[in-house]
Chain A
Amino acid sequence: MKKILTVLPVLLLLTGCWDQAMLNQTKLITAGGFDYTKDGKVLTTAAVPQSVAAEAGKGNIVNQIFSASGNTARQSRLRLDRRVAERLDASKNQIILFGEDAAKKDIYQLLDVFYRDPKSALNAKLAVAKGKASDVISTRFEEPKMSSGVGEYLRDSIISAEESATVPKENIQTVCPVMFDPGQDFALPYLEPLKKTVSIRGVALFHEHKMVGTIREPLSVTYTMLTGEKHTIAMNTTKKIFKNKKPELMNYVTIKVKKNKRSFDVDVTPEGKVSAEIKLKMKVIVTEYPSDNLGTPGEVENVEKRLSKKLTKDAQKVIVKLQKMNSDPFGVGRHVMAYHYPVWEKLNWKEVYPKIDFKASIDVDVIGHGIIE
């Protein structure tokens, strides 16, 4: 008993602080960016919000931007740490940006560090920036003066793009298994920095670990629909369904998708020929239709028909683009692998995918037209 009584306080006093991570002695990274320098080194840029006033709630947030280069992502982080007072911590990171050049090289090499660290923020968004990631992060944006910094601003921009179905929902964790899947690829939001704002321009498509191309904004909504996203808060799209009405805006209709049902078929003929087809059945609400008179008989059917035609055309465009880029985000390869493994084993998917017969069709059903007819 005496032994225990002496050992206990000694143990308590001797523990020290070897694994402590004090909140008030850390600098939280809220946004991180990766680029390559001209001599091939990794350039890491990090935004660290620093609250100025102590009064909670009224705190004015000042973003500090640090950057450092190193041979690897981790080395550049370590060098970054040396330039910053207190310890840098990425566990509350909101977004990781890749410069377009870096994304075209290989993003896994840069992400590796996040998958190894148990404390890393796996729910951080990933995005590809047009130009350099460091430029986007160090931009003095108009909005973040009010909120808590670049990281939150960029993350919220992406979330709002996800809600409008412009980009698919992805983060560090969701991308990981797909990245290593030979039968499937993924797409990330593609940002373009404007002077004082940032604009989500569409999606950047990947093949394996490399970015292979982009699908720009109105078409990227169709892309998100094709992924089978059931419905988001505001899956809106505006389509031109007439050609010669005057003024020009009379040609357009805006719809909001309420329900999106996808059937995805992959067929393999006995000879080993792969064909795929995506069929979407969408229930939509017309949210804008300047031509009006949706109440007249046949008008709704007319709109439905034209919309279906237009959307099918768009979908086909998306698929052609994807096949050209050799990016397979819908997982045709995964289907082949799962249901026709002997065929899959014989195929060199990288070469076969761009040539397969891949069709898409979208069938629109208007179920509402707002509170007026």
Chain B
Amino acid sequence: MTFFKKPKKLIQEKEAPIQQDSPQEDNSKDNESVTVQKLSLDEMLTKVKEPFSATEDLLTHEIELPSDKSRIALLYIESIVDKQLVQSMILNPLFVTDKEINFASFKQMASIDLKKHTEIKQVQELLLQSNTLIFTEDTSCFYAMSTPVKTQRDITEPDNETIIRGAHEGFIENLSMNLALVRKRLKTPRLTVKYLQVGKETHTTIALLYVDNICDPEHVKEVDKRIKSIEADAVYTPGNIEESIEDKPFSFFPQMLSTERPDRVAANLMEGRVALIYDTSPTAHVMPVNFFSFYQSVDDYNKRWHIGSFFRFVRIMGFFIAMGLPAVYIAIVSFHFEVIPFGLILLIKSSLEDIPYPPLFEALLMELTIELIREASIRLPTRIGSTIAIVGGLVIGDAVVKAGLVSNLMIIVVAITAIAAYIVPSNEMSAAVRILRFPFMVAAATLGFLGIVFGFLILIFHLCRLYTFGSPYFAPIAPLNLADLKDAFIRAPFWKQNTRPKDVTAQKVDNANHTRKWDKS
């Protein structure tokens, strides 16, 4: 217990100083901007460039306008600015026109992207966000135009969440494009995007998405609060954020659903959940989620509902197989072999007869081997990957048995377990299940079936106690909600799914799915 409480205290202690610090900072910067107003253009430029030390990709272009001979200066970071855009959006309108033009008229005809700023403290941020800044001789203000370099990749289906039918779109590393992908699916004015920035130096932008009239405002407040409390120089990946804001950092289970599918995010938003989309990462996080969210796949909803239900059920079975099968095998062959049917026992016995070590060791050996193969195949390029398949499949599968190191049956158990673990649509949950199988194996080897029962008890205690962002994690089983089981163990038909899950405490519970009214008359 105490183990879990300590980190919370730390956060509370840290929160206080932030609030004290921030007003002071603001004051100092305000003073600065006041003094700046009296500077000349040259002085202004040196002042602005100062914080960037000696970086050579920060470029300045000084131009004398032909009309009124006034000087303007363009300031941008070369590496993140599309020079073509600068040329076409700023320089061309200024020079390549028939009319004599001055900056004042340019302002009027310039695109919507041109924004006027007066606060000099914004310069850094704007420059780093791919803006081109225009300084004029009137140093009381400056103009910024967004000229980002287009380096985004194509929108492709995420490799880690492929489906058979349904949209084959996935998030990319560009926040505005990702938001577009979600907005495309939810054309409602109530879809709200809230930008948050994390990381003192990295200034990572996070978009907090929710549907205003469905989502529980408490969830939004909570997520917002937790993200704002993050104090770090750098936030590199969504994983950093996830670990910073999740409820139980010591739990094996993922407490946020990470997905790269905009359709999955959109569906979850409409269920009343909150989503986080990160700039520079294709991963989005959905919260609060329950255990069964990880077993839902977009594919389920594109199949006929009986089939979808069947596969949902198969996945839940997969959870138990992946977690328990090696443990059950160990328990049976080392404690309770009387449960094996007579017709099978001599077969099993004969395959086990000459194995030199206990079943636990045998199982650990093979499970670790499978994990080794898996890990190796992730890192290797596809062309070498086939080598792994041969080495892993043939050498380890066949030769190990022939050499008498591992029993035939163990290979079967390990293979089924591995397949069952990868059946989970969520990679995080799959990893959790794979890790959990090891304590189960140890428990089975020490106490047999009793050990497995203890293991599952502890697991269920944990799942029932787990809350994420104020929502019960093991809903709809604990607390039991029969109506919500329609999208947990099975996938009820669309026209039956007319309430939102209770555990997300949505503002509107009824989602008005009355799609078969024509059938009633």
Interface residues of A (CB under 8 A from B): 1, 12, 15, 19-24, 26, 28, 30, 49, 51, 53-54, 56-57, 59, 61, 89, 91-92, 94, 119, 121, 148-149, 152
B345 on the A face (CB < 8 A): yes
| A302 to B442 CA separation, bound complex (whole angstroms) | 73
Residues of B within 8 A of A23 (CB): 332-334, 337, 345, 348-349, 352
CA distance A89 to B345 in the complex (A): 13
B377 at the interface (CB under 8 A from A): no
Residue of B nearest to A61 (CB): B346
A121 touches B442 (CB 8 A): no
> Of B342, B351, B359, which is within 8 A of A56 by CB?
B351
- In the complex, whether B358 has a CB less than 8 A from a CB of chain A is yes
A56 near B408 (CB under 8 angstroms)? yes
The complex places the Cα of A49 from the Cα of B350 at a distance, in Å, of: 10
**B335→A59 contact, CB < 8 A:** no
Whether B334 lies near A28 (C-beta < 8 A) is: no
A149 to B347, CA, bound (A): 13
Q: Is B126 an interface residue (CB 8 A)?
A: no
Docked-complex contact A24 and B347, CB < 8 angstroms: no
**Is B3 touching A28 in the complex (CB atoms < 8 A)?**
no
Q: Is B338 an interface residue (CB 8 A)?
A: yes
Given A1-B3, A94-B342, A152-B342; A59-B334 close (CB under 8 Å): no
- Please name the residue on chain A nearest to B446 by beta carbon: A15
Q: Would you give the 0/1 interface string for B1-12, flagging 1 where the beta carbon is closer than 8 Å to chain A? A: 011000000000
A-B contact pairs, 29 of them (CB 8 A): A1-B3, A12-B446, A15-B446, A20-B334, A21-B334, A21-B337, A22-B358, A23-B332, A23-B345, A24-B352, A24-B353, A24-B354, A24-B355, A28-B349, A30-B342, A51-B346, A51-B353, A54-B354, A56-B351, A59-B347, A89-B337, A91-B337, A92-B337, A92-B338, A92-B340, A92-B345, A119-B338, A148-B346, A152-B342
Chain B residues with Cβ below 8 Å from A1 are: 2-3
Identify the closest chain B residue to A121 (Cβ). Answer: B338
Is B350's CB under 8 angstroms from A56's CB? yes
Determine which of B2, B358, B442 lies in contact with A12 in the assembled complex, contact meaning CB atoms within 8 Å: B442
In the complex with contacts A1-B2, A21-B337, A23-B333, A54-B349 CB distance below 8 A: no
Q: Which residues does chain A contribute within 8 Å of B342, judged by CB atoms?
A: 30, 92, 94, 152
A24 to B2, CA, bound (A): 45
Report B303-359 residues with CB < 8 Å from chain A CB: 332-338, 340, 342, 345-355, 358-359
> Which residue of chain A lies nearest to B356 when distances are taken between CB atoms in the complex?
A24
Cβ–Cβ < 8 Å partners of A119 in chain B: 338
What would 7 more interface pairs be, CB under 8 Å, given A12-B446, A19-B448, A92-B345? A1-B2, A1-B3, A20-B335, A21-B336, A23-B352, A54-B350, A54-B351
Bound complex: CA A149 to CA B358 (Å): 27
Chain B residues near A59 (CB-CB < 8 A): 346-347, 350
Contact call A19/B346, Cβ cutoff below 8 A: no
Q: Closest approach, in angstroms, between the C-beta of B155 and any C-beta of chain A?
A: 48
Tell me the complex Cα distance, A61–B345, Å.
13
Closest CB-CB distance, A28 to chain B, in whole Å?
7
* Cβ–Cβ < 8 Å partners of B346 in chain A: 28, 49, 51, 59, 61, 148-149
Instruction: Give the interface SS of chain A, mostly helix, strand, loop or mixed.
Output: loop
Task: Output the residue of A15, A24, A57, A149 with the most chain B CB within 10 A.
Answer: A24
The chain A residue sitting closest to B401, CB to CB, is A54
Q: Once A and B bind, how many residue pairs between them come within 8 Å at the CB atom?
A: 72
A54 and B353 in contact (CB under 8 A), knowing A28-B345, A59-B346, A59-B347?
A: yes
Tell me how far the C-beta of B496 lies from the nearest C-beta in chain A, rounded to whole angstroms: 44
* Smallest Cβ-Cβ distance to A60: which chain B residue: B350
Q: Which residues of B contact A22 (CB under 8 A)?
A: 333-334, 358-359
**A145 CB to nearest chain B CB (Å):** 14
Q: How far is the CA of A80 from the CA of B416 in the complex (A)?
A: 40
Judge whether B350 and A51 touch: CB under 8 Å. Answer: yes
* Cα–Cα, bound, A119→B335 (Å): 11
Chain A residues whose CB sits within 8 angstroms of the CB of B349 once the complex forms: 23-24, 28, 51
Would you list the 4 A-B pairs with minimal beta carbon distance, nearest first? A91-B338, A51-B350, A24-B352, A23-B337
A57 touches B354 (CB 8 A): no
Nearest CB on B from A84, distance (A): 15
A1 to B3, CA, bound (A): 7
Q: How far is the CB of A150 from chain B (nearest CB, A)?
A: 13
Of A56, A89, A119, most buried by chain B (CB within 10 Å of CB) is A56
- Chain B residues with Cβ below 8 Å from A15 are 446-447
Given known contacts A54-B353, A56-B351, A21 and B335 CB-to-CB distance under 8 angstroms: yes
Hey, which chain A residues are within 8 Å of B348, CB to CB? 23
Bound Cα distance A348, B350 (Å) = 56
User: Which residues of B have CB within 8 Å of A49?
Assistant: 346
Query: Shortest beta-carbon distance, B56 to chain A, in Å?
Result: 53
Which residue, B334, B346, B447, B448, has most C-beta atoms of chain A within 10 A? B346
Closest chain B residue to A55, Cβ basis: B350
Q: Which residues of B contact A54 (CB under 8 A)?
A: 350-351, 353-354, 404
Q: Which residues in A have their C-beta under 8 angstroms from that of B359?
A: 22
CA distance A30 to B337 in the complex (A): 14
- Per the bound structure, the CA–CA distance linking A94 and B334 in Å amounts to 21
Residues of chain A lying within 8 A (CB to CB) of residue B350: 51, 53-54, 56, 59
A12 CA to B448 CA in the complex, in Å?
13
**B370 CB to nearest chain A CB (Å):** 22
Q: Complex formed: what's the CA distance from A89 to B335 in Å? A: 12
Q: Which residues of A contact B447 (CB under 8 A)?
A: 15
By a CB distance below 8 angstroms, the chain B residues around A12 are 442, 446
Q: Please determine whether A56 and B345 come into contact, CB atoms closer than 8 angstroms.
A: no
**Interface residue from B333, B335, B404 paired with A24 (Cβ < 8 Å):** B333
Point out the residues of chain B lying under 8 angstroms from A51, CB to CB: 346, 349-350, 353
- What is the 8 Å Cβ interface bit string for chain B, positions 386-409, against chain A (1 contact, 0 not)? 000000000000000000100010
Which A-chain residue is minimally distant from B341 (CB atoms)? A92
* CB-defined contacts of B353 to chain A, threshold 8 Å: 24, 51, 54
Task: Report the Cα distance A146→B332, complex, angstroms.
Answer: 27
- Report the Cα distance A203→B442, complex, angstroms: 50
Chain A proximity of B441: nearest CB distance (Å): 12
Shortest C-beta distance, A146 to chain B (Å), equals: 13
CA A121 – CA B448 in complex, angstroms? 20
Q: How far is the CA of A125 from the CA of B348 in the complex (A)?
A: 23
Contact partner of B347 (CB less than 8 A), chosen from A28, A56, A92, A94, is A56
Q: How far is the CA of A59 from the CA of B348 in the complex (A)?
A: 11
**Interfacial chain A residues near B338, Cβ < 8 Å:** 89, 91-92, 119, 121
> In whole angstroms, what is the CA distance A236 to B3 when docked?
74
Separation of A98 and B408 alpha carbons in the complex (Å): 38
Chain B residues lying within 8 Å of A20, measured Cβ to Cβ, are: 334-335
Docked complex Cα distance between A30 and B334 (Å):
19
Chain B residues contacting A30 (CB-CB under 8 Å) are 342
Smallest CB-CB separation from B359: which chain A residue? A22
Which chain A residue lies CB-closest to B345? A92
